[in-house]
Amino acid sequence: MRPKVLKIDPQKIDLELIKQAAEVISNRGLVAFPTETVYGLGANALEAKAVAGIFEAKSRPLDDPLIVHIAAREDLYELASCVPGAAEKLIDRFWPGPLTIVLKKKSIIPDIVTTGLETVAIRMPYNPVAQKFIATSGVPIAAPSANLFGRPSPTNANHVINDLEGKIDLVLDGGHADIGVESTVVEFVRDKIIVLRPGGTTVEDLRSIVGEVEVFTETGHWQRSPGRYPQHYSPKAKVKLVSDDPDQVERVLALARQEQKGGRRVGIMATGEHEVSYREFDVKVLGPREDARLCASRLFHILREFDEDEVDVIVAEAIGEQGLGLAVMNRLRKSAGPDFHIF
């Protein structure tokens, strides 16, 4: 059964539509809603039974913690037992926005939200529809991305419906997500600030506020962050990455032709500068090499477009890992799976 879809203009929000979504939350239902990063699948974070519905709808493993979304800074202190000074500095600069902070939780947060951990991941989105929806609901909203577990995250309402039709109650359709990759997740360990997941707030921006920041490794602190599984954000096709260096085009073509000779349908995810070199294949442009923000906004949409084209293999150009490029490459490596290597 198709969920109820309410189209809503972020620039002129219809409060009656927001109230309908808030009513679903009050009845322990599930609402997909837009944020500046990707669409989230929301439930009342203080109701364990409601949160259980998120895991069921997404087929999400019960050991993968959720992010709790709030509408006002003061709500943070109702959920977290301790907020270190470094966290306050980052909140001052980056909230509302695509930054999630991991803090010691208060008992008000059900264990299912944090998968039994003593910490909770919290963020305050700047998307006006998300803000109004959370505030009107009157409770913090637990919300992972609104997709089937392991699939590319949804950046528009159609992506949500394609994955979760028959599994959720309502979709607030607020158009395309601006950033297109999930929030950055940071944790505070003694005197260290650790990026557990790169995302919409860049590491460079974090360092400009708090100095040294340690970027996560795939083996360190991974259990505390959403999106931690070694294969995630994956299309149906096999993803193969080609490193960002001077002979990238030649190696992309060689790999694509090899796959094609093996009888496989090939798609190429290219930067704009190289598009013309791949015209013999199904080629989709991520964006200019120097515009990681545009590349991030298009990434998941392109992966889903290749699914619609029914390709068997996606040969993807790697990009530089500066700024949002770090988040783009993190998602591409995860989409390629735990046994990936860069060609």
Residue 220, pLDDT score: 47
Q: Which among 115, 56, 66, 55 is positioned nearest to 226, based on CA atoms?
A: 66
Q: Which among 82, 72, 70 is positioned nearest to 188, based on CA atoms?
A: 82
Q: Which among 205, 232, 172, 162 is positioned nearest to 293, based on CA atoms?
A: 205
CATH homologous superfamily of 4-182: DHBP synthase (3.90.870.10)
Helix axes 292-309, 325-336, angle to 10 degrees: 30
Please tell me whether the overall predicted TM-score, pTM, comes out greater than 0.85 for this model: yes
Contacts of 139 (CB under 8 A, 6+ apart): 25, 44, 45, 46, 47
Query: What CA–CA distance (Å, rounded) separates 39 from 189?
Result: 29
Query: What CA–CA distance (Å, rounded) separates 101 from 24?
Result: 27
Contacts of 224 (CB under 8 A, 6+ apart): 65, 102, 117, 119, 121, 187, 196
H/E stretch holding 339 reads none
* Residue type, position 292, single letter: A
Query: What CA–CA distance (Å, rounded) separates 238 from 341?
Result: 12
Residue 207, pLDDT score: 97
Residue 230, pLDDT score: 60
Q: Are 138 and 22 in contact (CB under 8 A)?
A: yes
How many Cβ atoms from other residues are within 10 Å of residue 163's Cβ? 24
Q: Which among 94, 338, 51, 81 is positioned nearest to 218, based on CA atoms?
A: 338
Contacts of 144 (CB under 8 A, 6+ apart): 40, 41, 54, 58, 60, 64, 66, 67, 226
Where exactly are the structural domains of the chain?
Answer: 4-182, 238-336
Q: List the 266-271 sheet strands across, edge first.
A: 238-242, 313-317, 266-271, 282-287
Look at domain 238-336 and name its CATH class: alpha beta
Per-residue tens of pLDDT for the chain, all 343 residues: 889 999 999 999 999 999 999 999 999 999 999 999 999 999 999 999 999 999 999 999 999 999 999 999 999 999 999 999 999 999 999 999 999 999 999 999 999 999 999 999 999 999 999 999 999 999 999 999 999 999 999 999 999 999 999 999 999 999 999 999 999 999 999 889 999 999 999 999 999 999 999 997 654 444 555 655 666 789 999 999 999 999 999 999 999 999 999 999 999 999 999 999 999 999 999 999 999 999 999 999 999 999 999 999 999 999 999 999 999 999 999 999 887 778 9
**DSSP string over 168-185:** -SEEEE--S-SS-S--EE
